[in-house]
Amino acid sequence: MSTQRPFPWKWIGVAALVVALIFVGRLLPLSQWIQAFQSWASKLGPTGEVLYAVAYVMAALLFVPGSLLTIGAGFTFGLLWGTVLVSLASVTAAGLAFLIARYLARAQVEKLVQRNRNFQAIDRAIAQSGWKVVLLLRLSPLIPFNFSNYLFGLTGIRFDHFILASWVGMFPGTLLYVSLGAAGQGLGQTGQRSVWEWALWAAGLAATAAVTVLLARLAKAELEKSGVQGR
Query: What pLDDT is recorded for position 17?
Result: 47
Q: pLDDT tens across 123-153, in order? A: 778 877 788 888 888 887 677 788 888 888 8
Question: Does some domain include residue 172?
Answer: yes
Please report, as a single letter, which amino acid is at residue 143.
Answer: I
Query: What pLDDT is recorded for position 86?
Result: 95
Q: Could you give the percent of the chain with pLDDT greater than 90?
A: 16
Q: pLDDT tens across 45-87, in order? A: 788 888 889 989 999 988 888 888 888 888 888 889 999 999 9
Question: Does some domain include residue 124?
Answer: yes
What domain count does the chain have?
1
- Domain hosting 62: range is 32-182+198-225
The band of 11, judged by pLDDT with boundaries at 50, 70 and 90, is: very low
Lowest mean pLDDT among 180-189, 191-200, 209-218: 191-200
CA distance 214 to 107: 37
What values do phi and psi take at 65, rounded to 5? -55, 135
Q: What is the pTM of this model?
A: 0.71
Question: Does some domain include residue 10?
Answer: no
Contact between residue 220 and residue 230 where contact means Cβ atoms under 8 Å apart:
yes
CA distances from 14 to 8, 20, 47 (A): 10, 10, 39
Q: 45: left (phi > 0), else alpha (psi -120 to 50), else beta?
A: left
Question: Does some domain include residue 217?
Answer: yes
Question: Does some domain include residue 208?
Answer: yes
The band of 121, judged by pLDDT with boundaries at 50, 70 and 90, is: confident
Question: Does some domain include residue 1?
Answer: no
Question: Does some domain include residue 17?
Answer: no
* Selected residue with higher pLDDT from 202 and 69: 69
Question: Does some domain include residue 16?
Answer: no
